[in-house]
Chains A and B, each alone.
Chain A
């Protein structure tokens, strides 16, 4: 969990800043629109995945992050359509709304020691509740048909956050850099150690004075905020919202898949995951068209199973070979026997 530190303590930030600056120049290449679209989608997916992995790597596995995408996106879009509040204000409000729901869900969960499978199912239920509410309140949200934010007049387009692909690329890049920065700051703080200890043994952690509820809630808030931000930006970029892609089980599992495939223990893991999932999505769509509409989930699913069987630390896990080799671990089952690297979690206590 602390391998991120090993890469380079001092140079990491500088390297990251340089990478962000380099990426900021991408619109200057005047790439084809479609290519730009894929890149923006990848980056926004990476933001959501980074948010998920931020808490997922400590055994706080959420199957309901779709809910936060949806809350962020719909809050923003409804504020714009109903009250004319610009997304520049609407997105922070949407993020705040998602965080409020996150507290309502997280505080009792952590306080009452809902862990493992049980926490996953609580978040799953929350994700479904948000999806069904969006569908049920079709009078304002458009239900399953979805909704489109109203078009602003050209002179007010910037104020309404309605601009071309370059603008969204920069926004997405800022969100992504923010996510990585949050990851880095967390890993440099005591919270990261505290959360690692909690993931190992909650009672033991509490007994040495770690404030379990507070630490968990803190990381969940960052995670939720990133998901909500990604959801809102995605909706505003596409100018279309619908409950099936922004809430419920399906988008939640897709976030999880991306983060796992890329590797949730490394800060760039979820980004690698987003490159894979969106790349896979698009290439399947381009090569097979809509004829083989089931091919994408089929390949996803197979990959998810394969990753769990053979590469539980994801692609980024491959890059960690060196630091892992330094730790002497007897026996061939190093992967299974290394709790700090496993998706550390005790078996559900209630069963």
Chain B
């Protein structure tokens, strides 16, 4: 096999891992709270700046910066829920989406005010690894492994803890579960915090791979929503698989043509999926 194609495929899988975390977080919030956080990619952006600031400006070790980033963005998710989403819970969905769209502008604007529009990078790079004929970026591989671990942790949390079970139950049926003694307000809070923490984890993985600027969210935000919908909103496994599919489309498209056109193909594919399988690729 052509080593370049092989490399493109491999990069596609690694990219899928990067897409997977924000997709899972977005999906969790949507499945449980039934609200789309249009500003999700901007939460990731704030997380990236948090890590960058703590590491390069405050001089903290990278691991500690990562460890702070997760709870920080989880708190941001909580605040988003308490201040914006909760008051709008009974309202039409589009009002909720537009309100979180407002938060998108707030976060972009604040980041611009604080950090300016300059491109920043963490400047951390792990040596590339040679696998047979192809080279794989070490940072990307590490990020991929971390993304899988994060997804596994989320799965275990949802599957084996009492709260996780309650979360899944609420996502199934939000009318009946309150009668069974599950307080939906508390569950919404927890889901929002976990969704935020996933954005924080995604930020840790992205900050080592991407240059950041206040508008970096726009570069992966739209595709994250599309993956989420393709996998079926609220369907965690579907979203996870769709992330890898989209990763492969983007990176092999880059191999056949160029990166920009590969995004065009990916978005066209998304529109087709919505037309043909509106409940998601993997709906039964």
Contact = CB atoms under 8 A, between A and B. Distances in A.
B271 interface: yes
Given A114-B274, A129-B267, A136-B260, A343 B94 contact: yes
Interface residues of A, number: 60
Contact of A301 (B36, B106, B258, B260): B106
Interface stretch (B43-51, B129-137, B140-148, B218-226): B218-226
Contact of A129 (B109, B214, B264): B264
Nearest to B263: A132
A124 B267 CA distance: 9
Contacts, number: 169
A243 to B, nearest CB: 11
Residue among B101, B102, B229, B267 facing the most chain A CB atoms (10 A cut-off): B102
Given A249-B222, A297-B105, A117 B93 contact: yes
Contact of A350 (B103, B113, B232): B232
A325 B57 CA distance: 57
Interface stretch (A6-14, A81-89, A216-224, A303-311): A303-311
Contacts of B111: 294
A289 interface: no
Interface string B199-226: 0000000000000001000100110011
B149 interface: no
A298 interface: yes
Could you tell me the dominant secondary structure of chain A's interface residues? helix
B109 A297 contact: yes
A62 B82 CA distance: 27
A299 B109 contact: yes
Contacts of A256: 98, 101
A114 B263 CA distance: 22
B150 to A, nearest CB: 24
Contacts of B225: 121, 124
Contacts of B106: 297-298, 301-302, 305
Contact of B102 (A121, A132, A308, A351): A308
16 contacts: A109-B275, A112-B275, A116-B94, A117-B229, A122-B274, A293-B112, A300-B105, A304-B102, A305-B99, A305-B102, A308-B91, A345-B93, A350-B232, A350-B233, A351-B30, A351-B234
Closest 9 CB pairs of A and B: A294-B112, A301-B105, A298-B109, A304-B102, A301-B106, A297-B109, A308-B99, A294-B113, A305-B102
